[in-house]
C-alpha cells in the first residue's frame, strides 16, 4: 500500500499541515478505509490542544469517519473491499480481557483511540481493526451519518442503558453536536423530550428536531419550574451548570448522566440523591454492538446530524469554527 496523505498537527494548538506517512504492511485483522467524510468532534479540538495530556505529535485528528474498504487483512472475514463503513473514537481493543469478552470493548484497558498514537480521519485513508469498522445501513447518507459514529453513539448508549421507553421523560442538556442528535434518539425511543439550552435562539430548531419542550437555562426560574420532572437528564454541556437544580429536576429513581465534561468539579447536595434514590452517572462512547444498533435505528428513524460541510483542504477553517462554538451543529470534512 502506498503512503497516506492527510492533515496533521505537529505541536499543541498548532495549525493542521499537509502530512504524509507510510502505514507499512496491513495487519491481518485490519482494514484500510478510503475516507469520504469525517466529522469534527470537540474531542479533536481537545487532542489538537493537548488538553488531556494524551496527544502524541504529529498526528492526524478525526474520529467520525465514513468511507469504503479498499483493503482487508488476511484474517478479516466480516468485511471486503467496496463495503461502506463507519469508524468512531475507538480503533482497536485487546479482544480478550473481561470487558472485551462482555462486549464492553470501550472499557478495555488496551483500547486504542482512532487518533491517539495513530492517525485518524482528516486524511485520504485510515486503518482500524475490522471489529471497529461498522457497516453502514443503506438508508444513511455518508455526510449526515459521519457524526453518528462518535456524537451519535455517545448519546445513544445511555438512552439504551438507562432503559428509556415511551413512558420516560428525558431532558437533553446542551443543544450542540451531541445534544441535537440526543433529542432525535430520545424521540425515537418514544420519550417525552425537553431540550435545555442557554441559547434561546435554538428553541425553534430543537422543537423541529423532536423536542416537546424547550427550557432556557439562563432563566433560573425556568429550571425551578421543572423540579421533579425527568427520569433521565443527559448532559452534553461543556460549560458548568447549576447541577443542584438539575438534581432537583429529576423524578425519584432519576439519573443525571454526563457525556459532556465541564471544567469545574461538580457541587452536589447529597440529601436529594438519598431521599429520591437519584443517580449521577457518566457514560463513555459505546461498544461495537452499540454502534451497530445505533446505526440501524438511525436508518429506520431517519436520524441524521445537521451538518456544515467543508472540503478536507479547509480543515483549519472548520476546526476554528468548532473551537469558537459557531457550528450548527456538526462540521463535516469531505474528500
Q: Which is nearer to Zn ion, 260 or 272 (CB)?
A: 260
Quick one: 97 or 273, whose CB is closer to Zn ion? 97
Complex with Zn ion: residue 129 or 194, whichever CB lies closer: 129
- The x, y and z cell numbers of residue 164, run together, are 428509556
Q: How far is the CB of 216 from Zn ion (least distance, A)?
A: 27
- Min dist CB 115 to Zn ion, Å, is 9
Smallest gap from residue 35 Cβ to Zn ion (A): 16
What are the residues whose beta carbons fall under 8 Å from the beta carbon of 51, sequence distance 6 or more?
A: none
Q: Which residues bind Zn ion (CB under 5 A)?
A: 41, 43, 93-94, 97, 100, 108, 150
Q: Please say which residue, 43 or 168, places its beta carbon nearer to Zn ion.
A: 43
Query: Rounded CA gap, 324 and 143, in Å?
Result: 22
Nearer to Zn ion, 102 or 220 (CB): 102
| Closer residue to Zn ion in complex, CB, 150/312 | 150
Smallest gap from Cβ 110 to Zn ion, in A, equals: 5
Least distance in angstroms from the C-beta of 9 to Zn ion: 16
Taking the complex as a whole, the smallest distance from the CB of residue 236 to Zn ion amounts, in Å, to 11
Amino acid at each position: 500500500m502506498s503512503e497516506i496523505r492527510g492533515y496533521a498537527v505537529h505541536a499543541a494548538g498548532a495549525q493542521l499541515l499537509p502530512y504524509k506517512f507510510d502505514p507499512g504492511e496491513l495487519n491481518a485483522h485490519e482494514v484500510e478505509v478510503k475516507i469520504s467524510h469525517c466529522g469534527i468532534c470537540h474531542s479533536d479540538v481537545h487532542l489538537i490542544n493537548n488538553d488531556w495530556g494524551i496527544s502524541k505529535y504529529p498526528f492526524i485528528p478525526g474520529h467520525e469517519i465514513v468511507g469504503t474498504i479498499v483493503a482487508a487483512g488476511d484474517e478479516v472475514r466480516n468485511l471486503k473491499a467496496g463495503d461502506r463503513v463507519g469508524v468512531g473514537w475507538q480503533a482497536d481493543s485487546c479482544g480478550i480481557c473481561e470487558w472485551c469478552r462482555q462486549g464492553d470493548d470501550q472499557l478495555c484497558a488496551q483500547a486504542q483511540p482512532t487518533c491517539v498514537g495513530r492517525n485518524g480521519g482528516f486524511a485520504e485513508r485510515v486503518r482500524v481493526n475490522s471489529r471497529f469498522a461498522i457497516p453502514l445501513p443503506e438508508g444513511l447518507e455518508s455526510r449526515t451519518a459521519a457524526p453518528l459514529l462518535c456524537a451519535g453513539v455517545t448519546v445513544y448508549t445511555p438512552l439504551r442503558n438507562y432503559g428509556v421507553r415511551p413512558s420516560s421523560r428525558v431532558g437533553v442538556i446542551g443543544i450542540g453536536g451531541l445534544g441535537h442528535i440526543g433529542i432525535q434518539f430520545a424521540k425515537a425511543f418514544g420519550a417525552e423530550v425537553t431540550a435545555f439550552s442557554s441559547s434561546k435562539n435554538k428553541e425553534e430548531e430543537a422543537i423541529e428536531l423532536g423536542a416537546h419542550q424547550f427550557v432556557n437555562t439562563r432563566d433560573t426560574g425556568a429550571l425551578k419550574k421543572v423540579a421533579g420532572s425527568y427520569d433521565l437528564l443527559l448532559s452534553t454541556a461543556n460549560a458548568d451548570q447549576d447541577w443542584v437544580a438539575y438534581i432537583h429536576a429529576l423524578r425519584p429513581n432519576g439519573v443525571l448522566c454526563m457525556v459532556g465534561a465541564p471544567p469545574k468539579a461538580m457541587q452536589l447536595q447529597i440529601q436529594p440523591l438519598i431521599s429520591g434514590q437519584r443517580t449521577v452517572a457518566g457514560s463513555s462512547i459505546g461498544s461495537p454492538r452499540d454502534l451497530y444498533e445505533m446505526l440501524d435505528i438511525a436508518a429506520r428513524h431517519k436520524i441524521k446530524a445537521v451538518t456544515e460541510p467543508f472540503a478536507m483542504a479547509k480543515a483549519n477553517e472548520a476546526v476554528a469554527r468548532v473551537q469558537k462554538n459557531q457550528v450548527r451543529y456538526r462540521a463535516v470534512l469531505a474528500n
